[in-house]
Amino acid sequence: MTYQEAIEYLYDHLPVYQRIGSGAFKAGLDNSLALDTYLSHPHTKYKTIHVAGTNGKGSTSHLLAAILQQAGYKVGLYTSPHLVDFRERIRVNGEKISGQYIVDFIDKHREVYEPIQPSFFELTMMMAFQYFADMKVDVAIIEVGLGGRLDSTNIINPDLSVITNISFDHMQMLGDTLEKIATEKAGIIKAGIPVVIGEAEGEVRKVFEKTADRVGARIVFAEDEHIIQNSLRTASGWLLDTKYYLYLKGELSGYAQIKNAATVLCAVKELQSLGYVIPSKAVYNGFAYVTELTGLMGRWQVIQELHPKIVCDTGHNIAGIKYIVEQLATEKYNTLHIVLGMVNDKDITSVLSILPKHAVYYFTKASVPRALDQMKLQELAGKAGLTGYSYHTVSEAIQAAKEWARPNDFIFIGGSNFIVADALTELGYK
């Protein structure tokens, strides 16, 4: 079996949420616990940090990994979904898992796991846990896949839990109110394990407070710490004046990264109190070089600086899109071109209602079954006052935007992780 055959096997034989949506979601931990027992509990062989939340958990996970790498730890990083290559999901000190390891894992264990009938996420998560054990990592950052309480990753017993924020997403599985969604994500809060909450107010905050009180976990709200005292957006990212680090340069330049930075710095403080040795230099380097250190892509990623400027971002729900719209309003251009696609289980109408009406749109469809048909998206967009043209593929939409855009224009690519994934593949990223 080659690496490509192994990846095709994983997609063809296991339910994949990224492709088919809720049909691949298996509520409960039974499969994960069965696999974990079979593999002799690999996640107990190293420290772990658990990261949940609606938005920002990927950036937060990568920042924490970069900082701990720079502090001298051997760091595993498990995130999802990937953008270009499956191996992005499983890294050690920024290096992707080898294709051969994936092939060998499938060949060695398939007779045991196939009768269990795990989902794609359940099996690949256990592959990551075993890989981290085999690589003898010191600590692994584990990003929740969906929700928290019943997410496969919730079998770990971490040193620290982090919940970035709560917004409307995956409502068909997590609930139709912020309180219900918060309750699901609060499921990662465990007895005696401190938890950092990035953003929470009103009833959502009460959910976290009650959960932490009930299980006996110390809870810290990053917003209460007022860690970020001043911020300045520069050509190379953010320059932050913080409570603990002066002139902290953040490479990630998206507007949402201010909130993520506060969450990460609060988490670093908690880790230090738990005995992690994290010098100031590690924090500075982690923030300044996170993409190089961890391979993070798709967060207000500048594809082309000029003539025209091209940016992509994976923000895909109402909370994430609000930050993108706010940031687009600060950019200077003659005409804004937006290559847009969405998946069919999102709150499409709400997202379309806040997008810029003065832009030229290139409606398209990502190469996954969940993608919303481009003609349907164009129809819905028209009702929201957005005008443009439709294209069968992301490649065609990008090429059209490039042909129409003039040197002083701006092209934005987004609306879905999968639009960005197709775009980065089209543009030659690996």
Query: Mind listing the pLDDT tens digit for each residue in 40-92?
Result: 999 999 999 999 999 999 999 999 999 999 999 999 999 999 999 999 999 99
Looking up tokens 């070089």 gives 289
What pLDDT, on the 0 to 100 scale, is given for residue 235? 84
The reported pLDDT for the residue numbered 170 is: 57
Residue 4 has pLDDT above 90, yes or no: yes
Q: Which domains does the chain have, with CATH numbers?
A: 3-294 (3.40.1190.10), 301-426 (3.90.190.20)
Q: With bands split at pLDDT 50, 70 and 90, how would you rate the model's confidence at 168?
A: confident
Give the model's confidence band at 176: pLDDT under 50 very low, under 70 low, under 90 confident, else very high. confident
Give the pLDDT band of residue 22 (cuts 50, 70, 90). very low
Report the side by side order of strands in the sheet with 309-313. Answer: 301-304, 309-313, 410-414, 336-340, 360-363, 387-390
68 with 285: CB under 8 angstroms? no
pLDDT band at 23 (very low <50, low <70, confident <90, very high): very low
DSSP-derived secondary structure letter, 343: B
Q: What are phi and psi of 259, to 5 degrees?
A: -65, -45
Of 294, 240, 244, the residue nearest 266 (C-alpha): 244
- What pLDDT score was predicted for residue 26? 56
Which DSSP string do the residues of 64-105 spell out, in sequence order?
HHHHHHHTT--EEEE-S--SS-GGGGEEETTEEPPHHHHHHH
Q: Which residue has the higher pLDDT, 295 or 12?
A: 295
Region 269-292 average pLDDT = 98
Task: Report the pLDDT value the prediction gives residue 19, as an integer from 0 to 100.
Answer: 45
Confidence of residue 156 (pLDDT cuts 50, 70, 90): very high
The pLDDT, as a whole number, for residue 84 is 96
Phi then psi for 91, rounded to 5 degrees? -135, 155
